[in-house]
């Protein structure tokens, strides 16, 4: 690991001033940053340790019925907060389906949004990568790419965003609160992450020095609590990134869908809000046929970026499964294997 | 440039000067000779380096020592009471919760974290899920889950006796 200056600012303005310098990066939980530094993928000149900044580790219920989650709230603390898990069960399920108990104890809300792709070519400093070294080329195109993007990719980059947490958040219209050199601003999570285009090194809306201070959920986000699920297909049952995942929330009246939310994970460089599929669901019968049409619409623009055409069909199936699970209702208690499509209940179908 | 920190490790206070790059894991092993905490992958994937920081289980390989200034750390060396094993340690032996033993300190520290979290209860599937951050190349998983179930029960019995 290359040497760096270590700064522990006492306030948010001090942190922003220290991090606005070229070569500086923020450190919070460190679970992704230290891994990247050990691999030589990232070599900051300066680390601005924000882990002790005051007031960023609170979960606040707002008077307008919304929620404000401080950027330094640990993943485990958020998922196990009883009121939070009751109001936003799909978000809690997504959090608990990610990483391991040890990592969730350290990883923060802000860091989860900002974690880097797990594309193995991004990590392999021996070869080119447009994200790591702009203009050097993409080794994943034509490489081992069965887990890469099927939506929104470009010839410059086919990496996916690895977060589980962000998938239900984007479905629920989460907003990112950012403080920077010019004050505070709000960016929707849907607009926060960028698609690669020709500049895959620009992954989000942050400018130098910008600090994610909180994530907000609007009042309406809690209205899906009775019918909200997150499902995630992994290559092993636990402690693995999504091959494909989906978050769904439904409000159903008299068999008709009044409102629907749908987002996909593991398919693109950002958590993928499926708005066109939501439009199909709106006002339609709440049944499997409708969900299949929504799934087709959600994946209408998908195309393989390599050896990964299977992910498109897999994503369709996981969309249908997640909508069916949401329709069946949020379970009283989170399943033993959060977000797993494989049930241990005899007779339960796992072949949809 | 080395910077000063204070850590409480297994009940003892240490004042140290550390390189900013030093991880908590390397501090324990290389500076303080607390080699019970193991370096497996050094990348947060295997769980062999698990310790409790302020009562919570974390991967010490992904923790900068400097960032944990003032923390209270428990490692495997601080778990037993003198010659008397902790109930979790005794249960791992009773149930063959290991073969080679390399992952065992991490497994035991992770178990202590899991029991403190209180989320898994006595459901073996929830215990397996909550222990997925600790790999065992010998695949002693069956014994590990049995050990956790028994240790948890024994500790609850002791708590009930103490409370009575």
CB-based contact, B128 to chain A, within 8 Å: yes
Distances (CA, A) of B121 to A99, A280, B128: 20, 42, 11
For B3-78, CATH number out of 3.40.50.410, 3.30.1390.20, 3.10.450.50, 3.10.20.30 equals: 3.10.20.30
- Encode pLDDT of A238-252 as tens digits: 999 999 999 999 999
Q: What confidence score (pLDDT) does residue A343 get?
A: 66
ipTM here: 0.97
Distances (CA, A) of A32 to A84, A104, B15, B58: 25, 12, 28, 13
For B87-163, CATH number out of 3.90.1010.10, 2.30.110.10, 3.40.50.620, 1.10.150.120 equals: 1.10.150.120
CB-based contact, B122 to chain A, within 8 Å: no
Which of B5, B6, B17, B21 is the best mutation test for A, with the most CBs of A within 10 A? B21
Pairwise CB contact (< 8 Å): B63 & A100? no
Q: What confidence score (pLDDT) does residue A346 get?
A: 53
Pairwise CB contact (< 8 Å): A336 & B62? no
Say how far apart CA B28 and CA B7 lie, in whole Å. Answer: 11
CB-based contact, A5 to chain B, within 8 Å: yes
A239 min Cα distance to partner chain B (Å): 6
CB-based contact, A338 to chain B, within 8 Å: yes
Q: What confidence score (pLDDT) does residue A349 get?
A: 55
Instruction: Say which of A4, A51, A102 has its CB closest to residue B59.
Output: A102
Which of A100, A123, A340 is the best mutation test for B, with the most CBs of B within 10 A? A100
- Encode pLDDT of B126-160 as tens digits: 999 999 999 999 999 999 999 999 999 999 998 88
Pairwise CB contact (< 8 Å): A4 & B50? no
Say how far apart CA A51 and CA A273 lie, in whole Å. Answer: 30
> Structural domains in chain A?
5-52 (3.30.43.10), 224-328 (3.30.390.50)
B104, pLDDT greater than 50: yes
Say how far apart CA A34 and CA A309 lie, in whole Å. Answer: 33
| Count of CB pairs separated by less than 8 Å, A with B | 92
Backbone angles phi, psi at B125, to 5 degrees: -70, -40
**CB < 8 Å from B in window 73-132 of A:** 76, 80, 99-103, 105-106
Residues of A in contact with B131 (CB under 8 A): 101
Q: What confidence score (pLDDT) does residue A48 get?
A: 98
A21 min Cα distance to partner chain B (Å): 19
Q: Which of B68, A111, A19 is nearest to A5 (CA)?
A: A19
CB-based contact, B37 to chain A, within 8 Å: no
- Specify the pTM: 0.97
Looking at the DSSP bridge assignments, the partners of residue A252 are A257
3-class DSSP state for residue B56?
strand
Residues of B in contact with A5 (CB under 8 A): 20
Pairwise CB contact (< 8 Å): B113 & A101? yes
Residues of B in contact with A49 (CB under 8 A): 64, 66-67
Residues of B in contact with A103 (CB under 8 A): 44, 59, 62, 133
Q: Which of A157, A197, A153, A106 is nearest to A312 (CA)?
A: A153
- Which residue is associated with the tokens 């898990």? A85
* Consecutive H or E run containing B94: helix B87-94
CB-based contact, B63 to chain A, within 8 Å: yes
Pairwise CB contact (< 8 Å): A5 & B20? yes
User: Which tokens belong to B105?
Assistant: 């300190």
Question: In sequence order, what are the residues at sequence separation of 6 or more whose Cβ sits closer than 8 angstroms to the Cβ of residue B45?
Answer: B135
Strand-by-strand arrangement of the A67-70 sheet: A59-61, A67-70, A211-217, A175-180, A183-188
SS3 of chain A: the string is: CCCCEEECCCCHHHHHHHHCCCCEEEECCCCCHHHHHHCCCCCCCEEEECCCCCCCCCEEECCCCCEEEECCCEHHHHHCCHHHHHHCHHHHHHHHCCCCHHHHHHCEHHHHHHCCCCCHHHHCCCCCECCCCCCCCECCCCCCCCCCCCCCCECCECCCCCCCCHHHHHHCCCEEEEEECCEEEEEEHHHHECCCCCCCCCCECCCCCCEEEEEEECHHHHHHCCCEEEEEECCCCCCCCCCEEEEEEEEEECCEEEEEEEEEECCCCCCEECHHHHHHHCCCECCHHHHHHHHHHHCCCCCCCCCCCHHHHHHHHHHHHHHHHHHHCCCCCCCCCCCCCCCCCCCCCCCC
- Encode pLDDT of A276-308 as tens digits: 999 999 999 999 999 999 999 999 999 999 999
Pairwise CB contact (< 8 Å): A100 & B58? no
Instruction: Say which of A4, A38, A105 has its CB closest to residue B42.
Output: A38
Say how far apart CA B66 and CA B83 lie, in whole Å. Answer: 33
CB-based contact, A34 to chain B, within 8 Å: yes
Q: Which residues of B124-143 are buried (b: 16+ CB within 10 A; e: fewer)?
A: eebbbbbbbbbbbeeebbeb
B164, pLDDT greater than 90: no
Question: In sequence order, what are the residues at sequence separation of 6 or more whose Cβ sits closer than 8 angstroms to the Cβ of residue A18?
Answer: A7, A9, A24, A46, A48
Query: pLDDT under 50 in chain A at which residues?
Result: 352
Residues of B in contact with A344 (CB under 8 A): 125
User: Which tokens belong to B108?
Assistant: 């035991």
Instruction: Say which of A6, A34, A338 has its CB closest to residue B62.
Output: A34
3-class DSSP state for residue B120?
coil
Residues of B in contact with A31 (CB under 8 A): 44, 59, 62
Instruction: Say which of A4, A30, A336 has its CB closest to residue B63.
Output: A30
Residues of A in contact with B20 (CB under 8 A): 3-6, 47
Q: Which residue of A has its CA nearest to B125?
A: A336
Pairwise CB contact (< 8 Å): A27 & B67? yes
Say how far apart CA A111 and CA B21 lie, in whole Å. Answer: 20
On the question of a common fold for B3-78 and B87-163, the answer reads no
Say how far apart CA A161 and CA B40 lie, in whole Å. Answer: 27
Q: What confidence score (pLDDT) does residue A342 get?
A: 82
Q: What confidence score (pLDDT) does residue B160 get?
A: 85
Pairwise CB contact (< 8 Å): B57 & A99? no
Top-confidence residue, A342 or B68: B68
Instruction: Say which of A27, A30, A337 has its CB closest to residue B125.
Output: A337
Domain coordinates in residue numbering, chain B: 3-78, 87-163
């Amino acid at each position: 690991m290359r040497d760096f200056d270590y700064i522990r600012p006492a306030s948010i303005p001090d942190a922003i001033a220290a991090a606005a310098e070229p070569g500086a990066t923020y450190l919070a939980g460190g679970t992704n940053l230290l891994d990247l530094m050990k691999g030589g993928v990232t070599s900051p000149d300066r680390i601005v340790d924000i882990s002790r900044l005051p007031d960023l580790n609170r979960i606040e219920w707002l008077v307008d019925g919304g929620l404000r989650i401080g950027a330094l709230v640990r993943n485990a603390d958020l998922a196990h907060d009883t009121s939070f898990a009751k109001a936003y069960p799909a978000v809690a399920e997504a959090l608990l389906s990610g990483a391991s108990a040890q990592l969730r104890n350290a990883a923060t809300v802000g860091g989860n949004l900002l974690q880097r792709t797990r594309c193995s070519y991004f990590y392999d400093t021996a070869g080119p990568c447009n994200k790591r070294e702009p203009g050097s080329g993409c080794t994943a195109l034509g490489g081992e790419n069965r887990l890469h993007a099927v939506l929104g990719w470009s010839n410059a980059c086919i990496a996916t965003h690895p977060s589980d947490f962000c998938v239900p958040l984007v479905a629920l219209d989460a907003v990112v609160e950012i403080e920077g050199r010019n004050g505070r601003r709000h960016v929707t999570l849907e607009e926060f992450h960028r698609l690669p285009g020709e500049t895959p090194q620009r992954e989000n809306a942050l400018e130098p020095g910008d600090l994610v201070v909180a994530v907000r959920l609007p009042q309406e986000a809690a209205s899906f609590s009775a019918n909200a699920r997150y499902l995630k297909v992994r290559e092993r049952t636990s402690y693995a990134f999504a091959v494909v995942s989906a978050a769904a929330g439904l409000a159903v009246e008299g068999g008709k869908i009044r409102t629907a939310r749908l987002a996909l994970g593991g398919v693109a460089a950002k958590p993928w809000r499926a708005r066109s599929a939501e439009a199909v669901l709106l006002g339609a019968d709440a049944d499997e046929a409708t969900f299949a049409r929504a799934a087709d619409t959600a994946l209408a623009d998908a195309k393989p970026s390599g050896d990964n055409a299977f992910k498109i069909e897999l994503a369709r199936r996981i969309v249908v499964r997640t909508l069916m699970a949401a329709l069946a209702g949020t379970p009283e208690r989170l399943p033993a294997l959060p977000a797993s499509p494989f049930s241990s209940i005899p007779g339960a179908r796992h072949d949809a | 440039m080395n910077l000063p920190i204070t850590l409480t490790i297994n009940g003892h206070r240490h004042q140290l000067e550390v390189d900013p790059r030093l991880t908590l894991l390397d501090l324990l092993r290389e500076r303080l000779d607390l080699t019970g905490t193991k370096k497996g992958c050094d990348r947060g994937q295997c769980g062999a380096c698990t310790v409790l920081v302020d009562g919570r289980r974390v991967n010490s390989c992904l923790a900068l020592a400097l960032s944990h200034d003032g923390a209270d750390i428990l490692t495997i060396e601080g778990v037993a009471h003198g010659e008397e094993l902790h109930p979790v340690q005794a249960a791992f032996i009773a149930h063959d919760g290991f073969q080679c033993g390399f992952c065992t300190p991490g497994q035991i520290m992770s178990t202590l974290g899991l029991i403190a979290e209180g989320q898994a209860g006595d459901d073996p599937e929830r215990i397996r899920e909550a222990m997925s951050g600790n790999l065992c190349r010998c695949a002693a998983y069956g014994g590990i889950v049995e050990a956790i179930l028994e240790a948890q029960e024994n500790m609850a019995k002791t708590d009930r006796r103490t409370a009575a």
